Structure formats: structure tokens, C-alpha cells
Amino acid sequence: MIPSPSHGVWHLGPVPLRAYAICIIVGIVVAVWISERRWVRRGGEPGLMADMAVWGVPFGIVGARIYHVLTNPELYFSSGRQPVEALYVWQGGLGIWGGISGGAFGVWLVCRRRGVRLRDVADTVAPGIAVAQAVGRWGNWFNQELFGRPTGLPWGLQIDPDNRPAGYTSYETFHPTFLYESIWNLGLAGVLLWAGGRLRLSNGRLFALYVMGYTAGRGWIEYLRIDTANTLLGMRINVWTSLIVFLSAVAYFVVARPNRFEPDQQDNTADSPTDPPAQTRLDPGA
């Protein structure tokens, strides 16, 4: 059996150190490090990934929180709730799709300013994002949240009585969905590294592969979870979102043409922020 931590907050004097936030920060740092190495190895400008993070991370956190609040409004705006708690990010509650959308917007702003293509950046950061998600999921372990149905398997997760949802108080061990998703994302990162090097996927298709892989895993993991969630036609909202995003990624993967990262033949100037100079064309197999 997997024990759960007795607490997820430590205090450094008056300053609380929350495991949830630490896991997210560590995941971001690892993702930036991986992405920077891949970007430079592919011929990109050193330091650009750190600049991307400065804009992408804040936008991503805001987007993730907005998605969570919009899909779970009863947690903050129903009778007896405190709407101001919608701002308490440190207490948990971030939606991955809002995070990716918000982060992508922040990164897009930097791409326009620096004259690089968003799809090149997306292909570069895809494996790092998967690793960051694998690390960040451990925050749910510390918070004893978002676990799955009861199970008697040897790797069942022990949950304290106070954290068990209504109707499950008599059970002691549950599916460790945080661990399932963490392992799935690490495996996905490995597949992306292999596909980027062996298949030389480019033009945003490697990022589309990441989206397909993540949503496929998220679908069956959501099916295991027993936390309260809004549903549509009997299915959790997050499952519907995963399905729609998965199909969209498949469509892009099929329609997008492979790009050899060759200099444009018609216009090699950098006057347009959406048409970067030739030296920003990267090697997709690096």
C-alpha cells in the first residue's frame, strides 16, 4: 500500500511552504531546463525558453485557475461559499486545459516579439510539458485529493478518513490516480523524444502528438476518479474536454504538412513577426 503524507504544508517561520506549489514549481523548472536544451540543440537562440517561461507561466497559472473555477463554480459561488477563495491558487484547483491555453497565449506574445514561430516552440517544449505534469501531479498526493475508486490492489493509496468523500468513508485504500497520470506522462515524454528524433515530426505535429497522448491517458484516469465533478450527458466535463481536444489534435496532425525548417524561398526578411528569419528554422530531429 502507498501511504499518504500526514500534511502538505511546512512553515519556515511565518512563511508556509506548500507541497502542492513546490511540485508545480519543480515541474516548471524541469520543463524549462529540458526545453532549453532541446531548443539550443535544434539551433535556436540560447535563453529564449527562459524568456518564454517568464510570460508563459503566469498566464498559464491564471488560465488554469480560470478553467477550474468556470468548470466548478459551485465550489466558490454557491450558498455558504466564499467567492474570494477562487483566488486561493495555493489551496489547489488548476485546470490543465486552461493552463495550456493561457500559457500558449503568453508564449505567443514572446514569439511575436522575438520573431519565432509558435509551432516550432510548441514542438520543442512538448516533452518538457509532459515531464512537468508528471512532477506536478505529486501535489495531489500531498493534498490527498483527486484519487480514484476504492481498490484492494497492493498499490492502493491510503486516504485519511477526513479526506474520503461521502459514501466512501468505510474504504481505506483507493486508486492512486496521481501516480497513474505521473507514470503515463513520463512514458509520453519518452515517446515524444523518440518520435521527434526518429520520425522527425515538426510543424506543430509533435505537439499535436503530445496532446493526443495526454488526452488519451486523461480520459481513462478521469473515469477512475470519484471526486465531485460537473457532468454533461452523464460524462464528466473533463472527459468531454479531453475528447474534443483529442479529436482536434488528430485533425491537426493529419492536415498539417511536415516542415523541413528550410529558409523561406519567397521572403527571408524578418519584417513580419509571424515570418522569422532563416536562422530561427530549427532541426526537427535534434
Q: Is the pLDDT reported for residue 263 higher than 60?
A: no
Question: Is 41 part of a structural domain of the chain?
Answer: yes
Question: Is 286 part of a structural domain of the chain?
Answer: no
Output the average pLDDT for the chain.
Answer: 86
Locate 108 and state its grid cell.
505567443
Question: Is 3 part of a structural domain of the chain?
Answer: no
Question: Is 91 part of a structural domain of the chain?
Answer: yes
Most confident of 61-70, 129-138, 195-204: 129-138
Q: Quote the domain boundaries for residue 78.
A: 9-263
Q: Is the pLDDT reported for residue 170 higher than 60?
A: yes
Q: Tell me, what's the pLDDT at 229?
A: 78
Summarize pLDDT for 226-241 with one digit per residue, the tens. Answer: 987 778 888 888 889 8
Question: Is 179 part of a structural domain of the chain?
Answer: yes
Q: Residues 27, 133: contact at Cβ < 8 Å? A: yes
| 228 against 198, higher pLDDT | 198
This prediction's pTM? 0.83
| 284 against 31, higher pLDDT | 31
Q: Is 277 exposed, middle or buried (0-12, 13-18, 19+ CB in 10 A)?
A: middle
How many distinct structural domains can be found in the chain?
1
What element of type H or E holds 30?
helix 19-41
Summarize pLDDT for 45-58 with one digit per residue, the tens. Answer: 899 999 999 999 99
- pLDDT band for position 68 (50/70/90)? confident
Please state, as a whole number, how many other Cβ atoms lie within 10 Å of the Cβ of residue 16. Answer: 11
Handedness of CA 68, 173, 25, 210 (dihedral sign): negative
Q: Is the pLDDT reported for residue 272 higher than 70?
A: no
Question: Is 282 part of a structural domain of the chain?
Answer: no
Question: Is 213 part of a structural domain of the chain?
Answer: yes
Question: Is 14 part of a structural domain of the chain?
Answer: yes
